[in-house]
Amino acid sequence: MEKVVWPEAGKRMLAGKVFRQTDELLEIRLQTRREVKSFNDTDSADLKSREQIIRHLFGSIGKDFYIDSPFHCDYGVNIKAGDNLKVNMGCTFLDSNVINIGNDVLIAPNVGLYTAGHIVDPELRKKPSALQYALPINIGNNVWIGAQSIVLPGVTVGDNTIIGAGSVVTRDLPANVVAVGNPCHVLRKVNGRDKREFLGRPFSAAMDD
């Protein structure tokens, strides 16, 4: 996307400070909605056009990516992804703050990456205060996020980590672990046993063909 001139509320938003929605922020999001609609309406076989839209929409993205439809995001420009990103259908990235995604990341269907949050106190959450906040999400290299998982504001996921389907990630996850649940917790470490067990299964023989 072309460089965004952020209003004061947008600057507060990206700085992780409380902010209120404004007409200026709404206009930026509406522009993004138009681009997202164009992407979702483009034939899945028209890979060139879809790539062009995503490259214009995102802040940055590497080579050899694939994003399935439907896909949704708030601003687009705050999404920064590496090489070989694969995003399955039905994913939503609420990028009120930066979403950093490393190389070789797999994101399964209906995953939500949500940088945006609301205030717990009911008086501050409703109008006229209507205070919100947004914190960055950082996804490391070679991460696999299972279907219908949610990653909440401020979370960092370490390299090579797997998040089981249906998880709600409320806190940071270290590298090289399998994590599951709501709230998501570390189940075990990834180790050499995983490769040995995979290679010992009948379907792995197809890798030699």
Summarised one tens digit per residue, pLDDT across range 38-88 is 999 999 999 999 999 999 999 999 999 999 999 999 999 999 999 999 999
CATH of the domain at 119: 2.160.10.10
Residue 23 lies in a domain: yes
User: Considering the domain boundaries, does residue 172 fall inside one?
Assistant: yes
In a domain, residue 1? The reply is no
Q: Cβ(76)–Cβ(30) under 8 Å?
A: no
- 168 lies in some domain: yes
118 is catalytic: yes
Q: How far apart are CA 206 and CA 29, in angstroms?
A: 46
What range defines the domain where residue 49 resides? Answer: 8-208
Would you say residue 98 lies in a domain?
yes
* Residue tagged active-site, from 56, 72, 118, 185: 118
- In what helix (H) or strand (E) does residue 178 lie, and over which residues does it extend? strand 177-180
Total domains in the chain come to: 1
**Model-level pTM?**
0.92
Q: Which residues pair with 73 in a beta bridge?
A: 93
Q: Are 65 and 81 in contact (CB under 8 A)?
A: yes
In a domain, 3, yes or no: no
Q: Is residue 201 part of a domain?
A: yes
pLDDT digits (tens, 9 = 90+) for 78-130: 999 999 999 999 999 999 999 999 999 999 999 999 999 999 998 888 887 78
Q: Is residue 42 part of a domain?
A: yes
